[in-house]
Amino acid sequence: MRKIVSDEALLKGLLQSLAYYMFIASLLKLMLTNTPPEAFTERLMILISFGLLSFLALIYSMVHVLGPIVKSYHPEFEIPFTEKGNQQPIPITKLHLFPGMPTWILLVLANFLVGAYIMGLGFL
């Protein structure tokens, strides 16, 4: 935790990824309040588009934010599907054997849960 707080770039990236979720939630709140309740298809399209936006925010945080955080603790860690040396597909049954991979997966799940909570605030 000290490495994250002491490194300004890692802390900035983490706060920026959470700010993306807050931005998406505020847009969701604005668009849903301006849509009439009887317009089901419009509301469904808004929810689908914001679901895709939140998915893109999660992918961004997985690759550009959480990857460098795990690399600061495990220097030999390679982000799946992005590193040049990682050309072969990794079977899911052997994914936990790579150094730093359980940490990365737990950080991704925590980021997803925090993002889902922030996005849920857009419905209030």
- Please tell me the distance from the alpha carbon of residue 55 to that of residue 85, in angstroms, as a whole number: 26
Residue of 63, 89, 93 lying closest to 77 (CA atoms): 63
* Cα–Cα distance list, 103 to 33, 42, 53 (Å): 39, 39, 25
Asked if pLDDT for residue 86 goes beyond 60, the answer is: no
Domain ranges within the chain, ordered by starting residue: 2-121
Q: In the prediction, which pLDDT does 72 show?
A: 86
pLDDT of residue 64: 87
The distance from CA 62 to its chain's CA centroid, rounded to whole angstroms, is 6
Residue 1 has a pLDDT of 66
pLDDT digits (tens, 9 = 90+) for 17-38: 888 888 988 888 888 888 888 8
Per-residue pLDDT tens over the stretch 89-98: 666 677 667 7
**Helix (H) or strand (E) run with residue 68 in it:** helix 67-73
Segment 80-90 shows an average pLDDT of 64
Q: What pLDDT, on the 0 to 100 scale, is given for residue 118? A: 85
Q: Distance between CA atoms of 25 and 20, rounded to whole angstroms? A: 9
- Average of per-residue pLDDT across 87-111: 78
Alpha-carbon torsion angle 25, 80, 110, 93, nearest 10 = 130
3-state helix vs strand vs coil in the chain, percent to 5: 75, 0, 25
